[in-house]
Structure 1
């Protein structure tokens, strides 16, 4: 019996020695035995997202003001045999325009050339191209300030412009200088109106308004008031009576779309 127990022990010792010897030989040859079994990872249960309740509303802010300056766009278009002659004719009329503005105390910084072009002009009436002359065009942007203080100055300038033969009056627009400040004020009014609408809707639904999740803005532009004087009939009317140009009122409008969270 003892001989059998010693035999088992001896066999175990021999097996262990063989394993140690084999591992040592594998290490010497650069071969490693690794355990590549993947560890068991405990899977987490993902929470189901809760749908966010929202209310979407639109608010409008509107500021009504009287315009305080006028922007005029005027120009000349002259045709002559040469570019030099056409430019000379254009310069004569523009010099008269600048003199009128100076007489009415309009600073030079308020006058800017917005368009200048030289080009040949052709006649195609006979089915073929025929050069008839050289065309020179030039336009000016003129800013007349303080119309709230000196309201008659605009009409006086336009009436004098009307006496210049073939001077083209492209447009007259009434504007405000502090537009940025007015937009900021209109934006506040628009957002307050949007919040009031959201709170009213939430109260009807038994909900409470929280923070805004999304805001978008759209600024409305006040329409310019056009004014044209290019026909001979209009030119004759200038000689009979002064122009009446009521500035009226203009508005600055801001629209906001707001998405509020509610609970």
Structure 2
């Protein structure tokens, strides 16, 4: 992990207010995919049944590649009519989207190939994102850094003005996260090379603390 900081200072007669910003980063250790299975049919029951069958096959294939049941969950289900040129109902489309989480960051192509083999041309890759499993560690690190450096600058400014730091009057905090790079695709049709390279990147968390100290 790495971190950096910045501060903003305000001096008042009764004390000093310092705003410090700490930033912490960590390499990604999770990969999340959103896969969808879609099917068009003239009958709504057929469309739903085929999607259910292929979704079950994709789930089984992912289990076979080592993805735990707890790491696969439904994120969306839809069934809707499709209309022809005359606006009459021409058929129906059913779809089932699932979010898959894996800690094997090198298994992207392998998982997709397994899913494609199970669902064929009805499979789509809707979203891919790398993430960090424990962001609390990053938040703690950024918060500590922000406060430590705010105190350091407050002490420095107090010395420059002939004052000394006393008790803390108030503390406020804000947090922010810089999202990891995400990939989006319309379809996974045709399969993927097993060694398809994707770059995990890093997760960055920012914490700002505004601290007001009284003069002693």
Same fold (TM over 0.5): yes
1:156 to 97, 101, 110: 110
**Correspondence 1:220 to 2:176:** yes
Paired residue for 1:230? 186
3-state SS, counterpart of residue 96 of structure 1 = helix
Paired residue for 1:257? 210
| Length, aligned pairs only | 203
Paired residue for 1:187? 143
Which one has a bigger Cα radius of gyration? 1
> Which is worse superposed, 252-261 or 110-119?
252-261
1:140 to 86, 95, 98: 98
CA gap 1:162/1:254 in 2 versus in 1, 3 angstroms: farther
**Correspondence 1:61 to 2:22:** yes
Q: Is the 8 A contact 2:127 2:183 kept in 1?
A: yes
Shift of 1:52: 6.0
Paired residue for 2:9? none
Q: Is the 8 A contact 2:139 2:207 kept in 1?
A: yes
- Across the aligned residues of Structure 1 and Structure 2, the Cα RMSD in angstroms comes to 2.5
Q: Is the 8 A contact 1:72 1:141 kept in 2?
A: yes
2:69 to 108, 114, 119: 108
3-state SS, counterpart of residue 242 of structure 1 = coil
Q: Which runs of 4+ in 1 moved over 4 A?
A: 234-237
Shift of 1:205: 2.1
3-state SS, counterpart of residue 84 of structure 1 = helix
- Encode CA deviations 1:56-104: one digit per residue, 9 max, x unaligned: 2221222222222112112133332222111123224323321321121
Paired residue for 2:82? 121
- Encode CA deviations 1:136-195: one digit per residue, 9 max, x unaligned: 2221111112x3xxx422332134445631422221221222222332222111111111
2:56 to 95, 102, 113: 95
Paired residue for 1:205? 161
Instruction: Output the CA distance in 2 between the equivalents of 1:255 and 1:83.
Output: 53
**Which segments of 5 or more consecutive residues in structure 2 lack a partner in the other structure?**
1-11
3-state SS, counterpart of residue 35 of structure 2 = strand
**Which segments of 5 or more consecutive residues in structure 1 lack a partner in the other structure?**
1-50
Instruction: Output the CA distance in 1 between the equivalents of 2:208 and 2:184.
Output: 32
Instruction: Output the CA distance in 1 between the equivalents of 2:116 and 2:156.
Output: 57
Instruction: Output the CA distance in 2 between the equivalents of 1:82 and 1:261.
Output: 74
- Name whichever structure is richer in helix by fraction: 1
TM-score (norm 1): 0.67
Q: Is the 8 A contact 2:181 2:201 kept in 1?
A: no
Shift of 1:111: 0.8
3-state SS, counterpart of residue 136 of structure 2 = helix
